[in-house]
């Protein structure tokens, strides 16, 4: 795993990424989530196929299941009353990886940002795949273990 | 024995004992604010305060100001222009109606009825009390809706109204406070415009800095210091140039959200955890202003505030709903669900106690608001239930 680039890792473990469209309604995003129940992170693409946002399953659950919440912050209350399309509840500025980067660097970034999955995008921000923490752990060589 | 306790010890005692009391009263079904107020009252000068050297001068002002700045930032950042547009005219009409209805009704009540009970300078008192009346506590409303699985037109409108009426209340408060701090409406229009527009401009300028940071810094541990730093910077600059601090905080939140577009979770979720701390500060400090003599001699004012705020909410919601042609059930029952009144109102009342021009009425205002808040906190949930029951929107009650 050491001295490997992201592109090399993706060749062996392409990951599984699901994208939704920027104008998709909450119901449409939910449908995608339900069709891919094993996926935790969803990437939002614009008309040119560029990744413009990220929605985690937890974030979506917070929007959809808001009526079951006893306490709301003002922001959650507003979101409950006036929720809109994917571009309103996605996060626009989120960390990504690039194919030419060293995998070590990307793992550090994932741990730093507490990410389960990280999108790999090219220089035009097209989605190439994802690096999953679960798959990384599954394929961690024993020689890489610190203890 | 008279011992002077240090400021950190005083604040620590207020918060720790307040939180313990809040948890205890919550166990017997009372709102947590009762616990906070109880501890605050215990520290008031007439009870423990005098004996332990509890002195609020010098630190409570800055604490209240920062706490209110945080709440204003949270409220400002809770909404986007797109969301506001989507909410529609019914929610806006009702929110404007009920907020301004409460302000006007309380002002009228205090101005015309209070003098019958011997209150002098009733116009200043009327403006100060009216300025606080608009805000509604969303927590109690949401809790009742959840408890009774309520749903329907009134319920949807109610959630929208409570989501935005604190913002309307803060704007109304800022305008009235600017007026109270000036020399009179005619002479001070320029000054009021400067205070309000200057605050919006200042909040927008600082938000450019904060949103730039928010877009480029992804480490969670670095966000909170920057958010708090920006709030303090904005409040400090607002004080220095003489514009409304609370409106500056709200503008900072609103424009930060706007400039960052949808990265709201990142810049607001960390500070939303402070909301309970802020309310604990508000209520314990408010309780510490308690004065038994002032309290008992101002029962008529408490009654006027309570009755006229309730009337203003009901009538204002009816007028607002009628103006935007809301359905009949909304017109008839929405106002009754808008009685809860707590955290932000107490924060605004504490702000009034810090205005030198209002020194003569500050103790009366604070004690009246403490008493009214307790009444509204205890009766508010019943009013929400009453409203939704008559609107035919209550479902089956949850077991726990």
Residue pLDDT, tens place only, B277-298:
888 888 888 888 888 888 888 8
pLDDT at B347: 87
Comparing CB atoms, the residue among B78, B214, B215 nearest residue A74 is B78
> Which residue has tokens 């726990």?
B400
| Top-confidence range, B161-170, B312-321, B358-367, B379-388 | B312-321
pLDDT at A145: 64
- Yes or no, beta carbons of B78 and A87 under 8 Å apart: no
Question: Is residue B17 within 8 angstroms of chain A, CB to CB?
Answer: no
Q: Per CB distance under 8 Å, which residues of A are interface residues toward B? A: 53, 59, 67-75, 77-82, 84, 87-95, 112-114
CB B167 within 8 A of CB B80: no
pLDDT at B339: 92
Q: What residues of chain A lie within 8 A of the CB of B262, using their CB? A: 53, 87-92
What is the ipTM, given to two decimal places?
0.78
Rounding to the nearest 10 degrees, give the CA dihedral for residues B206, B207, B209, B214: 150
Q: Give Cα separations from B183 to B104, B161, B171, B365 (angstroms).
A: 21, 34, 20, 21
A23: its two tokens: 């104008």
Low-confidence spans in chain A with pLDDT less than 70:
1-2, 144-147
Residue in chain A nearest B217 by alpha carbon: A93
pTM of the predicted structure, to 2 decimals: 0.84
Q: What residues of chain A lie within 8 A of the CB of B74, using their CB? A: 73-75
**Which band of pLDDT confidence, cut at 50, 70 and 90, is reported for residue B29?**
confident
User: Distance from B237 to chain A by nearest Cα, in Å?
Assistant: 26
- Yes or no, beta carbons of A87 and B164 under 8 Å apart: no
B231: its two tokens: 């709030």
Residue in chain B nearest A91 by alpha carbon: B263
Task: Please list the residues that pair with B179 across neighbouring strands.
Answer: none
Each residue's pLDDT tens digit, B159-212: 989 888 889 999 999 888 888 877 655 556 777 888 889 999 999 999 999 988
Q: Is the dihedral of CA B189, B132, B282, B339 positive or negative?
A: negative
* E strand intervals along A91-132: 117-121, 127-132
- Yes or no, beta carbons of A92 and B263 under 8 Å apart: yes
Give the ranges where B133-219 is alpha helix by DSSP (H).
138-147, 153-181, 185-216
Question: Is residue B77 within 8 angstroms of chain A, CB to CB?
Answer: yes
Question: Is residue B133 within 8 angstroms of chain A, CB to CB?
Answer: no
For every residue of B275-301, which 3-state class applies, written as one string? HHHHHHHHHHHHHHCCCHHHHHHCHHH
């Amino acid at each position: 795993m050491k001295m490997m680039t992201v592109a090399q890792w993706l060749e062996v473990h392409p990951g599984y990424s699901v994208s939704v469209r920027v104008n998709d309604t909450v119901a449409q995003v939910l449908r995608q989530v339900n069709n891919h129940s094993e996926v935790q992170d969803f990437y939002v693409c614009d008309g040119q196929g560029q990744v413009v946002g990220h929605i985690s399953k937890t974030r979506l659950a917070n929007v959809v299941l808001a009526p079951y919440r006893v306490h709301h912050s003002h922001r959650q209350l507003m979101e409950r009353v006036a929720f809109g399309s994917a571009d309103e509840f996605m996060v626009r500025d989120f960390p990504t990886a690039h194919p030419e980067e060293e995998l070590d660097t990307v793992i550090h970034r994932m741990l730093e940002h507490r990410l389960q999955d990280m999108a790999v995008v090219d220089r035009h921000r097209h989605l190439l795949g994802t690096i999953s923490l679960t798959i990384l752990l599954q394929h961690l060589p024993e020689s890489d273990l610190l203890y | 024995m008279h011992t002077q306790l240090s400021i950190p010890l005083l604040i620590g005692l207020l918060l720790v004992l307040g939180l313990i009391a809040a948890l205890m009263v919550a166990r017997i079904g009372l709102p947590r604010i009762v616990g906070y107020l109880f501890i605050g009252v215990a520290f008031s000068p007439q009870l423990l305060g005098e004996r332990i050297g509890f002195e609020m001068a010098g630190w409570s002002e800055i604490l209240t100001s920062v706490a209110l700045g945080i709440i204003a930032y949270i409220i400002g950042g809770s909404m986007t222009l797109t969301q506001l547009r989507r909410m529609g005219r019914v929610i806006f009409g009702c929110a404007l109606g009920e907020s301004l209805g409460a302000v006007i009704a309380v002002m009228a009540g205090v101005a015309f009825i209070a003098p019958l009970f011997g209150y002098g300078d009733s116009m200043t008192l009327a403006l100060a009390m009216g300025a606080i009346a608009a805000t509604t506590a969303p927590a109690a409303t949401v809790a009742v809706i959840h408890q009774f699985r309520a749903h329907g037109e009134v319920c949807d409108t109610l959630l929208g109204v409570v989501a935005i009426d604190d913002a309307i209340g803060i704007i109304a408060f800022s305008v009235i406070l600017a007026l109270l701090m000036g020399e009179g409406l005619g002479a001070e229009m320029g000054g009021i415009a400067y205070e309000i527009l200057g605050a919006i401009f200042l909040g927008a300028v600082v938000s450019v800095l904060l949103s730039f940071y928010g877009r480029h810094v992804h480490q969670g541990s670095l966000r909170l210091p920057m958010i708090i730093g920006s709030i303090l910077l904005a409040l400090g600059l607002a004080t220095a140039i003489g514009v409304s601090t609370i409106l500056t905080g709200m503008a900072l939140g609103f424009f930060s959200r706007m400039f960052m577009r949808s990265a709201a979770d990142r810049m607001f979720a960390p500070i939303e955890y402070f909301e309970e701390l802020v309310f604990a500060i508000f209520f314990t400090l408010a309780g510490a202003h308690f004065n038994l003599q002032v309290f008992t001699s101002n029962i008529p004012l408490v009654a006027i505030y309570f009755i006229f705020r309730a009337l203003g909410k009901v009538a204002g919601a009816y007028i607002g709903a009628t103006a935007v042609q809301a359905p009949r059930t909304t017109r008839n029952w929405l106002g009754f669900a808008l009685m809860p009144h707590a955290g932000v109102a107490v924060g605004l009342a504490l702000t009034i106690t810090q205005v030198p021009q209002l020194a003569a009425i500050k103790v009366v205002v604070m004690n009246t608001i403490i008493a009214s808040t307790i009444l509204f906190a205890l009766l508010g949930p019943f009013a929400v239930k009453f409203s939704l029951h008559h609107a035919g929107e209550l479902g089956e009650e949850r077991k726990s």
